[in-house]
Structure 1
Amino acid sequence: MEVVNKPTISFEYFPPKNEKLAQTLWDSVPKLAAFDPSFMTVTYGAGGSTRDNTIDVATQMHEKTGIPIATHLTYINTPRKELYALADHLWEKGIKHIIALRGDMPKDLNWPLDPDADYFQYTSHFVAALKARQDFEISVGCYPEKHPDAPSLDKDIEALMKKIDAGADRAITQFFFDNNLYYDFLEACAKMDIKAPICPGLLPIHDFSSMLRFASTCQTTVPDWLVEKFDAVKDNEQDAKKLATELLIRQSEDLIKNGVNHLHFYTLNKCAITDEVCSALGYQAKAA
């Protein structure tokens, strides 16, 4: 598929936990950076568990590729003073794009938090504070099927609107496999007069069983037809990879045909599948 006005693209990575995973990451980064993404993102572990590693990886990525880097930053159960110090540190390191998120709720944490404590209660407040601190570019998360903790999709979209009104530049969705869920979500957001870009998050399926577990946690719908297709290739790794690639190409093509102007890929630190999809969509990898 050769697209005249191709969407911009971006890639997400996570900090590796050991040397083997680090090798996979650093093998993948330059190969995908060659497609000239508008930015790349680095995730942040629950409760800030990978904080130092996140900043190190993000800084190295920027130095190695020259591509703008965004780091996830979660505020749950972290004092404001500590978050401000982190934000200042990122800015000084040249990281000027933040993915502002609540983060996973600790099981032993009572909600709402103590209003007199020095913590952010809502992502919209966090976004506004970051914008006031420095002129960060800020992305936030959104959920075509609603956040698992939200009482309803309408309430979740109201929360998204508050994040955008607070200064977020764009929203990036949780992954999905049925594009109609995304299109319906866009329509619902438009009715709420949300005008900021809502970028689809796309997940290459490297391991179907792992994806199912992740989808269950996120409460993401996995269509029956998808289960049937992967069940048919469960004993053939190459056929499974080919299927995953073909399906992601098809999903991306449909999004582009329907006017999407940015695609965000959750790479899982692997260039396989994502690089083939980008090539099939007409993106040219630059020579190193």
Structure 2
Amino acid sequence: MKIRELFDEKKLVYSFEIFPPKPVYPIDTVFSTIEELSILKPDYISVTYGAGGGIINNRTAEISSLIKNKYNIEALAHLTCISSNEEQMQYILKDLESKGVSNVLALRGDIIDNGETLGEFKNSQDIIGYAKRNSNLGIVAACYPEGHIESKDKSIDIDILKLKEEAGADYFISQLFFDNNYFYNLLNKAEQKGIKSPIQAGIMPVINKKQIERIVSLCGATLPSKFIKIINKYEHNKEALRDAGIAYAQEQIVDLISSEVRGIHLYSMNNPYIAKIITKGIGSIINSINEIPLSTSISGN
């Protein structure tokens, strides 16, 4: 089924993101992660794109197929258009459909160092439109509560979001953020722009200082003073920082759910333990909203 239908059926959609192992590692290194996440009964699991190789030999399709066909959980396969042409794009779209995958997250991807895309698709709108015209897949797009890091004029980001919807995006998943006010501001701007597609909040529990530094460098997310205090207080205590990061993410999610957001997308970083703890902490809240309960088992670590 197309994941967009879940937003019509449920008051809150809850999902996880995982990434394929790098080519130097066996693909089965991610199997245990999927097994443990499946126990939590998420609405879907997304699989990132890029670590598994080029557009043709990428592991994303294989892992997405496993999620859908073995565990009967909807899979969302990431798809980037950098350095790709129509022939390659047609191949991967057909490959996904043949494997039973029904949804893609259409992204531009990271531009190479010389600033050229070296492909026939220049942005996410191009790939969204192409997938809409040439497949029967559900199409998801990204949005950025604090604006895209490359955007020189943040005011046009909402215009681009509207273009993505017009190109065929069914719903949006937000980039991570640590201050919910940025997400609420995005929702307000989207409503004013006439955007009707659901917007799902992307949340990443930060469990170590290096992870935080990398996140800020890659996407420019703002760290609130409350969050900085947590880092400074517990940066030399690995376990304490992990628990504090989980607690902060749970607090964000509770606030978002209380404000009636349409969905929560948890960037799990292939760490089932963190996903289990957070799901247990918010499980009763989600279950009070949706008729189908989540599993909140936290066996294992």
Q: TM-score, length-normalised on structure 1?
A: 0.89
- Paired with 2:296 and 2:206, the residues of 1 have a C-alpha distance of 25
- CA gap of 1:250–1:33, structure 2 versus 1, over 3 A, is same
**1:146-157 correspondence to structure 2 within 5 Å:** 146-157=147-158
Aligned to 1:285: 295
Aligned to 2:219: 218
User: Is the CA contact 1:47–1:77 (under 8 Å) kept in the aligned structure 2?
Assistant: no
Aligned to 1:76: 82
User: Is the CA contact 1:212–1:222 (under 8 Å) kept in the aligned structure 2?
Assistant: no
**1:41-60 correspondence to structure 2 within 5 Å:** 41-45=46-50, 49=54, 51-60=57-66
**One-letter identity of the residue aligned with 1:144:** P
User: Is the CA contact 2:21–2:51 (under 8 Å) kept in the aligned structure 1?
Assistant: no
**CA shift at 1:205, angstroms?**
1.1
- Paired with 2:220 and 2:296, the residues of 1 have a C-alpha distance of 37
**CA shift at 1:36, angstroms?**
1.8
Give deviations 1:114-146, integer Å, cap 9, x for gaps.
Answer: xxxx70223222212111112211111110111
**1:28-43 correspondence to structure 2 within 5 Å:** 28-43=33-48
- Paired with 2:232 and 2:46, the residues of 1 have a C-alpha distance of 32
**CA shift at 1:228, angstroms?**
1.6
**1:1-288 correspondence to structure 2 within 5 Å:** 7-17=12-22, 18-19=24-25, 22-23=28-29, 25-45=30-50, 49=54, 51-110=57-116, 119-282=120-283, 284-285=294-295
User: Is the CA contact 2:207–2:243 (under 8 Å) kept in the aligned structure 1?
Assistant: no
Which structure 2 segments of 5+ residues have no match? 1-9, 285-293
SS state at 1:99 partner: strand
Give deviations 1:137-165, integer Å, cap 9, x for gaps.
Answer: 11111101111122222211111111111
Shifted more, 189-198 versus 276-285: the winner is 276-285
Give deviations 1:216-244, integer Å, cap 9, x for gaps.
Answer: 22111112321221221122222112211
- Paired with 1:168 and 1:208, the residues of 2 have a C-alpha distance of 35
Shifted more, 270-279 versus 14-23: the winner is 14-23
> For this pair of structures, how many residues does the alignment match?
278
Shifted more, 127-136 versus 174-183: the winner is 127-136
Q: TM-score, length-normalised on structure 2?
A: 0.85
Please provide the CA RMSD for this pair.
Answer: 2.3
Give deviations 1:265-288, integer Å, cap 9, x for gaps.
Answer: 111111122211111112542889
Q: Percent identity?
A: 29
- CA gap of 1:47–1:277, structure 2 versus 1, over 3 A, is closer
Shifted more, 238-247 versus 118-127: the winner is 118-127
SS state at 1:245 partner: helix
**CA shift at 1:19, angstroms?**
4.4
User: Is the CA contact 1:69–1:95 (under 8 Å) kept in the aligned structure 2?
Assistant: yes
- Paired with 1:146 and 1:46, the residues of 2 have a C-alpha distance of 25
- Paired with 2:61 and 2:135, the residues of 1 have a C-alpha distance of 17
Shifted more, 234-243 versus 166-175: the winner is 234-243
**CA shift at 1:252, angstroms?**
0.4
Which structure 1 segments of 5+ residues have no match? none
